[in-house]
Amino acid sequence: MTLMELSAFEIAQRVRQGDLSAAEVLDAALARIAAVDGRPGTLDAGELTEEDKQKVHAFITLTADRAREQAEAVDAKVKAGEPVGPLAGVPLTVKDIFTVKDTPSTAASKILANFSAPYTASAVERLEAAGAITLGKVNLDEFTYGSSSESSAFQPSPRNPWDPSRVPGGSSGGSTASVAAGEAPLSLGTDTAGSIRQPAAFCGVVGLKPTYGRVSRYGLIAFGSSLDCPGPVSRDVRDAALMLSVMAGADKRDSTAATVAVPDYLASLEQGVNGLRIGLSPDYMQITFPDLETGELVRQALPEEIRAATFHAAEVLAKQGAEIVEDVPMPNTSYGIPAYFVISRVEAASNLHRYDGVKYGYRTTSEYHELRELYRKSRAEGFGLQPKLRILMGMYVSAAQYSEQYYARALKVRSMIRSDFENVFNVDGAYKLDALLTPTTPTTAFKMADVYGDSVLMQYADQLTVPANHAGIPGISVPGGIAADGLPIGIQLLAPDFMEETLFQVGHAYEQATADEAWRKIKPMVLR
């Protein structure tokens, strides 16, 4: 087994024991990046070469010198017999939507390409304080606006390590691609509609969206402030639990970070699923589109192999002692995307007005005579099409004359989506579920350029993940098989507020019970 196949848990254990140095681990990570990543994303990439098309391109900025200093500091502490944290020596990649002091923090946008953050995000600060070694910043959809990572202003955008002609998903595509390609065992991503879970499913890794408020958003460049959740990407459930245990908890710099005690997630990992009630819902086995002729909704069943992977997981868990509850009604699931088109755009428009070419970030290089012209030119040149689309839509649906029709209604529908979950998780209700088991995505990873540009179609990649963002509840995607096209399938578990430990418990039990299944032996194409 090579160093980069070790889990974060194993690396930290060996570094703490002095069996392995953080510097050795860093060398292995940098060697892997050199072998598989190709050139980093830049604003002036030019045409892609055939070689580019075989590489992963997870990174925007590799901060190898900074990582070296961190690794040496960890090794010095170990040598001196001083205590080191639970992530000692573990390589970490950070989605370039988090600020890290004195490093470029770009949001994958030209408008922030020259922005060097004057402070570090709380989640990153906590991970580094626990001994994690930050390798650098990884690529994403511009300002996280997408589900394929192709909208990044920094090209080449990330490609799927299982098949580089496919997207890694998004928006945390650089995070999941870097973990799937073994460049780092951990990555920090964000999930606003599925942006951790969907690319985790596409790249065959574990991705957790914690409960809203479980992890501080301080230092996260905002998209949808009521929806954004920082969360871990890893190769196994135990590493996700370990990473969350370090990041989670109240933060005086974020008033929405909840003051809920952080449990020992690793301690509950081995408790098994005996007696847990796990639901399956027919509403998550289909995708729903508006019908064109009649205005009715078209319902189409998900591909057979994606449904089969989910049912297989239910069988595996049932054999471990879980009680599977079928036909759980989640009637408002299909409203997740339309409501999201309104709520997320209003919040995005509000958050993106701050970029104006005055205080920081890009200022137009063309001529201007007055302030409004400076704004217009800086924003027109600095933002890509997807942020512009979101700003325009957000302004339209929140305008005084339309807000009751669109925004207020979407917020009410959001209540209804939330009540679906409250109903099935209610301990005094008819279902009394501990978790809901669903597919993560309606398809496996699609081909590069196949969907990009069609903002409606792209959004539907999140239909099965976005309800959890509306509701605020936690969700995890874990690898659940390999489809006939050779691409990973993800299965999703959803739990009540602040019950991440249930997700870890169930996810870990499923991993253990399927450890010997043949599909787990298959490696991503870039590692074969």
How many of the chain's residues bind other proteins (CB under 8 A)?
93
* Annotation says 195 is catalytic: yes
Taking CB under 8 A as the binding criterion, the range among 40-48, 186-194, 206-214, 482-490 that sits at the site for other proteins is 206-214
Residue type, 350: S
Return the HEC string of 282-302.
HHHCEEEEECCCCCCEEEEEC
Alpha helices (H) along 383-433? 385-398, 409-425
Binding test (CB under 8 A) with other proteins, winner from 29, 393, 499, 506: 393
Q: Applying CB under 8 A, which part among 66-74, 238-246, 298-306, 503-511 lies near other proteins?
A: 298-306
Phi and psi dihedrals of 273, rounded to 5?
Answer: -115, 10
205-233 burial, b for 16+ CB within 10 Å, e for fewer?
bbbbbbbbbbbbbbbbbbbbebbbbbbbb
Please provide the distance, in angstroms rounded to a whole number, between the alpha carbons at the two ends of the chain.
14
DSSP-assigned beta bridge partners for residue 323 = 277
**Does 342 participate in binding other proteins (rule CB under 8 A)?**
yes
Q: Is 389 in the site for other proteins (CB under 8 A)?
A: yes
Binding segment (CB under 8 A) for other proteins, from list 59-67, 130-138, 403-411, 485-493: 403-411
List the interface residues with other proteins, window 101-140 (CB under 8 A).
115-116, 118
Binding flag, residue 411, other proteins (CB under 8 A) = yes
Q: Report the site for other proteins in 348-387 (rule: CB under 8 A).
A: 349, 356-361, 363, 368-377, 379-380, 383, 385
- Applying the rule CB under 8 A, the residues between 421 and 460 that interact with other proteins are 442-443, 446, 450-451, 453-457, 459-460
Q: Which is nearer to other proteins, 21 or 332 (CB)?
A: 332
Spatial CA neighbour of 476 closest among 450, 453, 510, 451 = 510
Secondary structure (H, E, C), 15-59: HHCCCCCHHHHHHHHHHHHHHHCCCCCECCCCCCCCCHHHCCCCE
CB of 187 to other proteins, least distance (A): 25
In the complex, least distance from residue 450 CB atom to other proteins, rounded to whole angstroms: 6
- Least distance from C-beta 388 to other proteins, angstroms? 6
Footprint of other proteins on residues 212-251 (CB under 8 A)?
A: 212-213, 226, 250
Residue 125 CB, nearest distance to other proteins (Å)? 15
Of 148, 152, 195, 245, the catalytic one is 195
CB 205 within 8 A of CB 234: yes
Helical (H) or strand (E) element with 135: strand 133-138
Q: Judged by CB under 8 A, which of 4, 33, 435, 471 binds other proteins? A: 471
Q: Is 171 a catalytic residue?
A: yes
Catalytic residue among 55, 77, 95, 209: 95
159 touches other proteins (CB under 8 A): no
User: Contact between 54 and other proteins (CB under 8 A)?
Assistant: no
Q: Which CB atom, from 17 or from 426, has the smaller least distance to other proteins?
A: 426
Q: Which residues contact 350 (CB under 8 A, 6 or more apart)?
A: 225, 394
Cα-Cα-Cα-Cα torsion 394, 400, 406, 407, nearest 10 degrees, comes to: 70
- Given a contact cutoff of 8 angstroms between Cβ atoms, the answer to whether 471 and 333 are in contact is no
Is 307 near other proteins (CB under 8 A)?
Answer: no
Interface of this chain with other proteins, residues 245 to 264, rule: CB under 8 A = 250, 252, 255-260
Instruction: Determine the angle formed by the axes of helices 237-247 and 122-129, rounding to 10 degrees.
Output: 110
Residue 53 falls in the annotated catalytic set: no
Q: Which of residues 43, 64, 392, 522 is near other proteins by CB under 8 A?
A: 392
The candidate with the shortest Cα–Cα distance to 163, out of 55, 49, 235, is 55
Q: Does 395 bind other proteins (CB under 8 A)?
A: yes
CB nearer to other proteins: give 35 or 457. 457
In whole angstroms, the minimum distance from the beta carbon of 151 to other proteins comes to: 12
Query: What is the residue-wise DSSP string for 424-485?
Result: HH-TTSSS--SEEEEES-SSSPPBTTSSTT-HHHHHGGGTTTHHHHHH---EEEEEEEE-TT
Question: Of 21, 105, 122, 171, which residue is the catalytic one?
Answer: 171
Q: CB-wise, 35 or 250, nearer to other proteins? A: 250
| Token output for 191 | 């999930």
Smallest gap from Cβ 110 to other proteins, in A, equals: 14
Residues noted as catalytic? 95, 171, 195
